[in-house]
Amino acid sequence: MTAAGKRAARVAAQESVKTRRVREKLIKQWESERLSFTSQALKETTDKIHKWIADHAQHRIPIKEKSNIRLFNQNKDPAAVSKKVKSLAKQLEENMNQLRKALDAKDF
């Protein structure tokens, strides 16, 4: 019998009373939390977040004043090319040159 077969053949130990109580308690908590997610509660939370942002707006620093933050600029400043990509590009270029020479030699 394989190791996977042995594991499948094992019977799980019976759940203890303490474990069952804790599991049932967690299930009740999750259910009460799930029921508390109403559209009204979400709207109230959204309003609280908007109020907090408005209250703390005076402490915000406009991005234009920060010189070290860059917004996405359509890859005008792309990341450096990795060594692996450079080697693959070089290999591809060599293969294309060989193919070009072979086709030129056949002179279609």
- Find the DSSP H helices in 1-108: 3-9, 17-36, 39-55, 83-106
Residue 56 is which amino acid? H
CA distance 40 to 49: 14
Q: What are the φ/ψ torsions at residue 22 (nearest 5 degrees)?
A: -65, -40
State the pTM of this model: 0.35
Query: What residue type is assigned to position 42 of the chain?
Result: L
SS3 63: helix
- pLDDT by 10s per residue, the chain, length 108: 566 666 667 778 888 999 999 999 999 999 999 988 899 999 999 999 999 999 999 888 777 666 666 666 777 777 788 999 999 999 999 999 999 999 888 765
